[in-house]
Amino acid sequence: MRPWGEAPIRRLKPLARAGAALLALCGAAAPGCALLLPAALAVPALAGLVFALACGALLAGRVAWPHLRRAALLREAVNNTAVRYAVFAPDRTLLDRSPSCDMPGFDVPGLGPRPLPPGLKLDHLAAAAAGPGQDRCRSVTEVIAAHEDDSMAEYDWALPDGRILQVSKRRLSGGEVARFALDVTAYRTREMRARAIHESVPAAIWHLDPEGRTLAANRRLLDLFGGTLPDNLAAAGLQQLGRPGGGPFGLQPGQEVEGILPATRAMAERRVIVVASPWLPGEEGQLQAVLMLLDVTRLHAAQAQAAHFAWHDPLTGLPNRFRFQQALTDLEAGPEGGALVLVELAGLGMVNDALGLAAGDALLKEAARRLREQVRPLDQVFRIGGSEFAVVAAGLRSQGGGAAMAARIRQGLAAPVDLGRGGSPIRACIGHAMLPEDAADADTLHRAAGLALALAKREGEGTIRAYEAALGEQVTRRLVLRERLSAAVATGGLQLAWQAQVDARTGAMRGAEALLRWPDGPFGPVAPGDFLPEAEAAGLMPAIDAWVLEEALRQKAAWMAAGTGPEVVGVNISPITLRDPAFPRRVSAALARYCVPAESLEVEIPEVVAARDLDAIAPVLYELIAEGVRLSLDDFGGGSSALAHLLRLPVDQVKLDRSIVAGLPGGARERAILRAVSTLARGMEIPLLAEGVETEEQRQALLEEGCLVMQGWLFGRAVPAGRLAAR
């Protein structure tokens, strides 16, 4: 038996009729069309084949997984041929098209493989494909009419450039219209067209008699069998494809089955999708059936691998955190509860840095192996992060059980591992929690064990911690605080209090510092020292800084209008904003908006920030200075030792830290620092301000060292703006 591609056209006639019937069985055929009867009928057949598999699944996004997979297969199959497709919504909006993007009327000229612009319609495509001149409108109207006319399932479309497309279209169940086309310009005779088309079929086609003997086939079938056409189904290893009694060879017409072609000397095992026609009368009245085979071996392997990697860590082979989530959910659903043990390896980063990534990988693999060794056969071990592992031990109920497992794991890991520089132990921190003792559900269990692990890490390498309820309360409190704070920032729940800065000799007010207040926190008023760290962790500082700046300038403008208040207003700005290159621009915009002179604004920069982030904040500071804004170095002498270095910053004021003032007048160390700072400041002609001044003795000691401006309870607490102005 010769393969289809080499058979004379006459011989193919019955096959053609079979193809048409196959088409019909798929519910996509126009009556009477034939696979290899050329012209109007061949492409429909082809389209029908495509339809047989696709059934509208090309409308990806609306279809479930098996369909989607089929759609992917089809795309791949069709894209390897000269067939082009496009799918339109009922209103003719283009939904999807071949990625080849080279056929007029099926794509936008020049768009290439880029995503479709929204709202693109067949009307636009037809207009783009229509040539210039009078016939243009008629041509577009005709294309649209043919598209809308469901009785026109197949037709030739002559493009203005002389090309002829053989178009086949079908309305899908949702009212969408799918169009397939093949450029048949080069095929002058019906026979040539027919051949072109059957070579374009994206599947192997096999014609069989009722005994399963080969009648004919196409080139793709030959390829599928390594160049030798099998005499019959049995020789191909495809004896019984479905349940006996169904249709041909046990297959319901149109039903897809996946089969395996066993390995032969020439070919490895292949996986195919098979679709069959019903029994059809051949030319001489004998029955035959047509099988369509799609080789999905490669796709299958790729999918299997993708599936494995979707659930497993490629390095250690352990199931990954998606599986871990699943296991936690199962634990929650299960009747017996259990333990969750989280293990974080210490020093992985150091190994990577010092010995290379290969050594780090080896460490992880060895740790994974040892973990598996230390747990019971039914316990599950996961790699859930770079250096983090988890053990889910269903049925392990006593707190002692979790602790014992944690201890076993620590000991198991501790044996030396040789990573090329002699052996060293694998160290880890471990946190564990129990369901239902510590947590009622999977999420809470994970959080509980995570808290325990965080605590263990804080206490150092090799620590094991069990979850305790007190840990949870602390965290809950913090979370509530964050949530409420975020709402307060958004709804104006924050306020500014003002603390005067005075000339300590006369008591006259020189300036005032704006200090943030949150009067209605979740547990009453909250001090900035308590809520600012939470605000920082929650990413709220930029918004808070912006609000403080705005509110301080608004207040200064109000004081100016009333002819009262401090000359200079000081604001505290957080490091993240001080690093933002757009900050100076926002400051000058706000100054302009409130008509406040730049010299009336003083930005306080904590010493630690200046010392740590000098490079990052210097450009912003210089821009602020250029603007005319005053800079004040806050908390000076409180931490950094490089005081002289810091004083090279072009600041307008240095604020002596409260902790130094608190040690005055008695503390020798504080006196020494005060003397050093005041000498430095005087030498550089930078005014010194002492903050936190509470007593008359402190005031005297400071005055003796030449510090004239002071801030502190001795002169007044931070108060609402109205009470400050009244002083």
Choice from 311, 322, 523, 713 touching ligand C2E (CB under 6 A): 713
Min dist CB 502 to ligand C2E, Å, is: 12
Count of beta carbons in the 10 Å neighbourhood of residue 463: 19
Nearer to ligand C2E, 61 or 492 (CB): 492
634 binds ligand C2E (CB under 6 A): yes
Both tokens assigned to 98: 């071949």
Q: Which does 529 bind (CB under 5 to 8 A by kind): Ca ion, ligand C2E, none?
A: ligand C2E
Query: Which residues lie below 8 Å from residue 682, measured CB to CB, with a gap of 6+?
Result: 688, 706
The answer to whether the beta carbons of residues 408 and 428 sit under 8 Å apart is no
Residues 546-605 close enough to bind ligand C2E by CB under 6 A: 548, 572-574
d(CA 191, CA 646): 90
Query: Which residues lie below 8 Å from residue 358, measured CB to CB, with a gap of 6+?
Result: none
311 binds ligand C2E (CB under 6 A): no
Nearer to ligand C2E, 499 or 653 (CB): 499
Q: Which does 390 bind (CB under 5 to 8 A by kind): ligand C2E, Ca ion, none?
A: none
Nearer to ligand C2E, 523 or 713 (CB): 713
Min dist CB 711 to ligand C2E, Å, is: 6
The answer to whether the beta carbons of residues 155 and 182 sit under 8 Å apart is no
Min dist CB 727 to Ca ion, Å, is: 20
Min dist CB 658 to Ca ion, Å, is: 6
d(CA 721, CA 512): 10
The answer to whether the beta carbons of residues 47 and 172 sit under 8 Å apart is no
Q: How far is CA 170 from the centre of its chain?
A: 37
Min dist CB 493 to Ca ion, Å, is: 21
Residues 72-91 close enough to bind ligand C2E by CB under 6 A: none
515 binds ligand C2E (CB under 6 A): yes
Min dist CB 570 to Ca ion, Å, is: 7
Q: Which of 575, 529, 525, 569 is nearest to 549 (CA)?
A: 569
Nearer to Ca ion, 634 or 670 (CB): 634
User: What DSSP character marks residue 398?
Assistant: S
Nearer to ligand C2E, 387 or 711 (CB): 711
Min dist CB 102 to ligand C2E, Å, is: 60
- Return the axis-axis angle of helices 442-459 and 321-333, rounded to nearest 10°: 120
Q: Give the SS3 label for residue 422.
A: coil
709 binds ligand C2E (CB under 6 A): no
| Cα angle 37-42-47, degrees, rounded to a multiple of 5 | 155
635 binds ligand C2E (CB under 6 A): yes
- Return the axis-axis angle of helices 9-25 and 190-200, rounded to nearest 10°: 50
Nearer to ligand C2E, 229 or 515 (CB): 515
200 binds ligand C2E (CB under 6 A): no
The answer to whether the beta carbons of residues 419 and 408 sit under 8 Å apart is no
692 binds ligand C2E (CB under 6 A): yes
Nearer to ligand C2E, 471 or 573 (CB): 573
Min dist CB 494 to ligand C2E, Å, is: 8
The answer to whether the beta carbons of residues 196 and 3 sit under 8 Å apart is no
The answer to whether the beta carbons of residues 218 and 293 sit under 8 Å apart is no
702 binds ligand C2E (CB under 6 A): no
Residues 621-640 close enough to bind Ca ion by CB under 5 A: 634-635
Number of residues that bind Ca ion (CB under 5 A): 4
Q: Which does 632 bind (CB under 5 to 8 A by kind): Ca ion, ligand C2E, none?
A: none
Min dist CB 632 to ligand C2E, Å, is: 10
Nearer to ligand C2E, 316 or 572 (CB): 572
Return the range that interacts with Ca ion (CB under 5 A); candidates 143-151, 220-228, 326-334, 600-608. 600-608
Nearer to ligand C2E, 381 or 633 (CB): 633
Return the range that interacts with Ca ion (CB under 5 A); candidates 112-120, 412-420, 586-594, 604-612. 604-612
316 binds Ca ion (CB under 5 A): no
H helices within 415-468, ranges in order?
A: 442-459
Nearer to Ca ion, 462 or 663 (CB): 663
Nearer to ligand C2E, 288 or 711 (CB): 711
Min dist CB 714 to ligand C2E, Å, is: 7
HSE, CB side, 13 Å, CA atoms: give it for residue 302. 7
718 binds ligand C2E (CB under 6 A): yes
Q: Which of 359, 347, 473, 477 is nearest to 413 (CA)?
A: 347
Choice from 388, 604, 670, 705 touching Ca ion (CB under 5 A): 604
Distances in whole angstroms, Cα of residue 652 to Cα of each of 98, 535, 570: 68, 29, 12
d(CA 527, CA 493): 14
Q: Which of 168, 153, 183, 193 is nearest to 50 (CA)?
A: 168
Min dist CB 666 to ligand C2E, Å, is: 17
Return the range that interacts with ligand C2E (CB under 6 A); candidates 27-35, 36-44, 343-351, 686-694. 686-694
Both tokens assigned to 447: 């959080």
Q: Are strands 630-636 and 568-572 parallel, antiparallel or unpaired?
A: unpaired
d(CA 413, CA 402): 17
Min dist CB 558 to Ca ion, Å, is: 22
H helices within 580-727, ranges in order?
A: 583-594, 607-627, 643-646, 658-662, 668-683, 696-704, 721-725
Percentages helix, strand, coil for the chain (3-state, rounded to 5) are: 45, 20, 35
Nearer to Ca ion, 385 or 687 (CB): 687
Nearer to ligand C2E, 443 or 520 (CB): 520
Return the range that interacts with ligand C2E (CB under 6 A); candidates 203-211, 331-339, 607-615, 685-693. 685-693
Instruction: List residues bridging with 93 in a β-sheet.
Output: 121
Q: How far is CA 88 from the centre of its chain?
A: 30
499 binds Ca ion (CB under 5 A): no
527 binds ligand C2E (CB under 6 A): yes
Residue 223: its H or E element: helix 219-224
Min dist CB 548 to ligand C2E, Å, is: 4
d(CA 499, CA 568): 12
Burial of 656 (0-12, 13-18, 19+ CB in 10 A): buried
Nearer to ligand C2E, 319 or 606 (CB): 606
Number of residues that bind ligand C2E (CB under 6 A): 22
499 binds ligand C2E (CB under 6 A): yes
Q: Which does 647 bind (CB under 5 to 8 A by kind): ligand C2E, Ca ion, none?
A: none
Burial of 335 (0-12, 13-18, 19+ CB in 10 A): exposed
Both tokens assigned to 429: 């921190």
Return the range that interacts with Ca ion (CB under 5 A); candidates 64-72, 150-158, 569-577, 645-653. 569-577
The answer to whether the beta carbons of residues 599 and 558 sit under 8 Å apart is no
> What residues line the site for Ca ion (CB under 5 A)?
572, 604, 634-635
Binding site for ligand C2E (CB under 6 A): 499, 514-516, 527-529, 532, 548, 572-574, 634-635, 658, 691-694, 712-713, 718
